[in-house]
């Protein structure tokens, strides 16, 4: 991070010093009585109702300045959009005191400064809805210039700043100069609120579970490890909240959910960030068939809330979230895409398949991971329209109930959309003896060197021994879902502050 001041930064500091010498406070007390936003004015003002806009107060950041001598046209950006100010020297400054005009308006204002204005709304000769300014207040001086984004007369941006290093590291500046970025995060919040409304209407209870855990359970992933000084024990940042939510089902809640901030110490790419958000919910007396139907209903509702239609543009494709979605078993999916039936193959047979398909796999993973590798390499990317991949081998799903009619399989689905997993759901395993055996198999994989195998959670086993009713649960990747619903190809574009390497400090 550089501490070197550019020429523009030096000039801005000099302007600030002149203002302060003239007795002008460039950072006044924060209370400013905003009455209207830019869109309120532009969407509703007319000559017929101009009396309703005879005394407005707005505030925002300066995005352009047009100096006409004794008149300035200033475009101000608030949290909803842009509005133009018409500023005339003789109306905002008394004749005997032009200090404010000279030190602030004429020679002190820069792009990026925050100002407030009061006045009345009118339409200029060029047809632009504007505020005839009667008072102008400097609210905060900007000491760092914004990257310049050029706009045409219609307000369309070109020459936009697209450098991801700048945009992700300085998200605050990215939000200022790229309105579409701000819209993405408004839609993200709307997406989450739509989900919350959907679940609340069905009687679900939103809960919080621990982020610091003594055992990183509920998923197969490599955790982050920390240390608690007072207890002198290692703790893990959660990789999933599943086992805690199931404890609540044991405790008597029928329907619980949580937007869980999870952490996995794994690779980073366009669909993975070490810190991410997952929605999980668990419902007693339901199975994975009910969960598929409910998931379809939810995704339809989200698409309609954000787009007004179930057809959502994603890159050069249109994805339909209109139910029902396709359903196919993982074995049939692999066969559909490779012509190879892996349903009856043991570990050695699966390794032979990997060799045949040129899929490199480590020696320390078992049958379940091998099938997962084959599916990921040959099939996952082919499912563009929403598709439930169902009925996984038991080795792949240590927390899932065995299939009621198909030996060796479990009642599980993953929802694939645009070639990526968006949701993962089970009919939950509630047999404590079977669950213990599954955990022990995971422990054997850990001994073989699989650092993503699950730990044995003895307290969770104890909870199951008290009895857990038949239950269905699901996890939905909120970040990937947001990517889909906002037509963004990178997870970094839907995270306000994605993980990045620290900047190197330079003093040149």
Binding residues for Mg(2+): 414, 421
- 219 vs 263: CA distance, rounded Å: 11
d(Cα 155, Cα 153) in Å, to the nearest integer?
A: 5
Instruction: Spell out the residues 6+ positions from residue 437 whose beta carbon is closer than 8 angstroms to its own.
Output: none
> Burial, 315: exposed, middle or buried (Cβ in 10 Å; 0-12, 13-18, 19+)?
exposed
Residues 6+ apart with CB under 8 A from 16: 26, 141, 143
Q: Which one, of 238, 200, 257, lies nearest residue 471 by Cα? A: 257
Structure tokens that stand for 209 in this block: 């579970």
Distance from C-alpha of 439 to C-alpha of 434, rounded to nearest angstrom: 9
For residue 406, the cross-strand partners are none
Sign of CA dihedral 258, 261, 266, 269: positive
Token readout for 183 is 């819209």
Q: Which two tokens stand for residue 397?
A: 């799903």
Provide φ and ψ at 127, rounded to 5°. Answer: 90, 15
- Cβ atoms of 483 and 493 closer than 8 Å: yes
Alpha carbon dihedral 389, 390, 391, 397, in 10-degree steps, equals: 70
**Tokens linked to 78:** 């608030």
What sign has the CA pseudo-torsion 476, 479, 480, 484? positive
Q: 199: helix, coil or strand?
A: helix
Tell me which DSSP letter residue 476 carries: E
The residue among 204, 194, 197 whose CA lies nearest residue 256 is 204
Q: Which residues pair with 327 in a beta bridge?
A: 388
**Under 8 Å CB-to-CB from 141, ≥6 apart: which residues?**
12, 15, 16, 19, 26, 27, 108, 110, 113
> What's the per-residue H, E or C state across 231-254?
CCEEEEECCCCHHHHHHHHHCCCC
CA gap 411, 404 in Å, rounded: 8
């Amino acid at each position: 991070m550089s501490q070197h001041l550019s020429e523009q930064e030096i000039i801005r500091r000099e302007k600030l010093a002149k203002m302060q010498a003239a007795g002008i406070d460039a950072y006044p007390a924060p209370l400013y009585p905003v009455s209207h936003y830019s869109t309120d004015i532009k969407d509703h003002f007319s000559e017929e109702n101009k009396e309703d806009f005879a005394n407005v107060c707005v505030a925002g950041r300066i995005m352009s300045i047009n100096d006409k001598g004794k008149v300035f046209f200033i475009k101000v950006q608030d949290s909803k959009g842009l509005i133009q100010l018409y500023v005339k020297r003789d109306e905002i400054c008394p004749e005997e005191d032009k200090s404010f005009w000279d030190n602030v308006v004429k020679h002190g204002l820069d792009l990026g400064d925050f100002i407030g204005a009061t006045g009345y709304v009118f339409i200029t000769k060029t047809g632009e809805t504007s505020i005839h300014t009667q008072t102008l207040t400097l609210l905060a001086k900007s000491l760092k210039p914004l990257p310049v984004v050029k706009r045409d007369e219609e307000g369309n941006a070109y020459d936009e700043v697209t450098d991801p290093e700048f945009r992700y590291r300085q998200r605050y500046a990215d939000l200022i100069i790229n309105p579409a970025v701000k819209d993405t995060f408004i839609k993200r919040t709307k997406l989450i609120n739509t989900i919350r409304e959907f679940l609340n209407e069905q009687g679900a209870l939103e809960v919080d579970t621990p982020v610091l855990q003594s055992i990183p359970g509920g998923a197969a992933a490599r955790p982050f490890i920390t240390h608690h000084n007072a207890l002198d024990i290692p703790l893990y940042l959660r990789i999933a909240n599943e086992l805690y939510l199931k404890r609540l089902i044991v405790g008597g809640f029928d329907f619980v959910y949580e937007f869980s901030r999870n952490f996995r110490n794994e690779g980073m790419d366009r669909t993975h960030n070490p810190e991410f958000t997952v929605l999980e919910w668990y419902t007693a007396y339901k199975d994975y068939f009910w969960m598929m139907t409910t998931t379809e209903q939810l995704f339809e509702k989200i698409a309609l809330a954000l787009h007004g239609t179930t057809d959502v543009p994603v890159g050069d494709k249109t994805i339909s979230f209109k139910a029902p979605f396709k359903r196919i078993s993982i074995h049939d999916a692999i066969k559909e895409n490779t012509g190879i039936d892996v349903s009856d193959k043991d570990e050695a047979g699966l390794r032979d398949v990997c060799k045949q398909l040129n899929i490199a796999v480590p020696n320390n993973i078992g049958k379940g991971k091998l099938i997962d590798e084959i599916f990921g390499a040959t099939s996952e990317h082919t499912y563009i329209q929403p598709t439930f991949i169902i009925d996984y081998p038991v080795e792949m799903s240590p927390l899932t109930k065995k299939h009621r009619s198909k030996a060796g399989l479990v009642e599980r689905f993953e929802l694939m959309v645009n070639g990526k997993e968006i949701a993962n759901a089970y009919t939950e395993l509630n047999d404590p003896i079977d669950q213990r055996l599954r955990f022990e198999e995971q422990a054997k994989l850990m001994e073989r060197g699989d650092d993503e195998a699950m730990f044995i959670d003895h307290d969770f086993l104890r909870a199951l021994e008290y009895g857990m009713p038949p239950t269905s649960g699901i996890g939905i990747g909120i970040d990937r879902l947001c990517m889909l619903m906002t037509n963004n190809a990178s997870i970094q574009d839907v995270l306000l502050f994605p993980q990045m390497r620290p900047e190197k400090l330079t003093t040149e």
